[in-house]
Amino acid sequence: MSDQITKEMSIGEVIDKYPETAKVFEKYFGQGCFTCPGSRMENIAFGATMHGMEADTIVEELNKVLSEN
């Protein structure tokens, strides 16, 4: 796998570049993630903190989705 998602990447950047990851963001952050203006600027680590989630777990699942496609 050449591409790798990191927790420093913005949520919007990841969804734009890898639309197949949207289901992971919805699972952890809810549907509101797609309409939240902050998702364009906030990175995955910040979003995880705001939602009381572990960023590494989310990043691991996002990268798993990439490796399956």
C-alpha to C-alpha distance for 41 and 63, rounded to whole angstroms: 20
- Residue in 13, 21, 26 with CA at minimum distance from that of residue 67: 21
What span, in angstroms and rounded, lies between the C-alpha atoms of 3 and 32?
A: 26
pTM above threshold 0.85: yes
For residues 53, 25, 43, 37, the Cα torsion angle rounded to the nearest 10 degrees is: -120
69 pLDDT higher than 90: no
Residue 1's pLDDT band, with cuts at 50, 70 and 90, is very low
Closest CA to 6 of 50, 52, 44: 44
Q: Which CATH architecture has domain 11-68?
A: Orthogonal Bundle (1.10)
